[in-house]
Amino acid sequence: MKTVPTGTVMLQQGAEVPGTVLIAHGCVEISRMNANGHVAIIHHAREGETLGEIETISREPCLASCTSVGSVTYLTCPVDLFVQHLANPLIQRNIMRITRGRLQRDNERKYVDQNYPLDRRICAYLLRLADRNDKVTQSQGYIANLANCSRQSINRALAGLREDGLITIEKGKIRILDRVGLELKLAGQKAAAFQPDTGMTSTD
């Protein structure tokens, strides 16, 4: 078990992997840089997710860089030890499930990125970035980069979500107040209006 501070490159694009990484706590940004130096953020992995298992099996260089966002605690299963267990049908099935889940996730995100307007895409990004306490630690500039749009556009979209009571912004940090409402907005539906409990019952 190892704990690293924010900004630590746990796996480096183009380098050999030491083994398969299992995240025990925290968030890891997975990104890939192209030949022109442009970086694309692919995913934010969290507790229970694995990194580098395909490279561990294939013995190929890492396809993307994995960088800690905040403090991250993780375990590493060395290459040789991991390969020893590949004959186990349960291990094989779980690797295929992980791979299938990633394909499904990436297909869904690509559809959102290509077809949804910004106000709905922002909902997807916030749900993706939020931690277990529904807090988004990344800056609004980071989200603008993720959405490939201007900071001003992000500010307007976030202001709309705040007016709808879905999020709050305190000292530049975003917190989700209504996760279900955010999911409904992402789906193109309206959240039900909040009805306070007055403690009164019907006499009918």
Which pTM value belongs to this model? 0.75
Q: What residue spans in the chain does CATH classification 2.60.120.10 cover?
A: 2-86
Question: Could you report the per-residue pLDDT of 9-53, keeping only the tens digit for each?
Answer: 999 999 999 999 999 999 999 999 999 898 888 999 999 999 999
**SS3 of residue 55 by DSSP:** helix
As a whole number of angstroms, the distance between CA 53 and CA 77 comes to 9
pLDDT in tens, 103-145: 998 999 889 888 999 999 999 999 988 888 899 988 888 899 8
Q: What fold characterizes domain 118-186?
A: Arc Repressor Mutant, subunit A (1.10.10)
Residue type, 94: N
Topology of domain 2-86, per CATH? Jelly Rolls (2.60.120)
What's the pLDDT tens digit per position in 162-173? 999 999 998 878
- DSSP reduced 3-state for 102: helix
Pair of tokens at residue 43: 């995913």
Distance CA 118, CA 106 (A): 18
pLDDT at 204: 45
Which tens digit of pLDDT belongs to each residue from 59-81?
A: 999 999 999 998 999 999 999 99
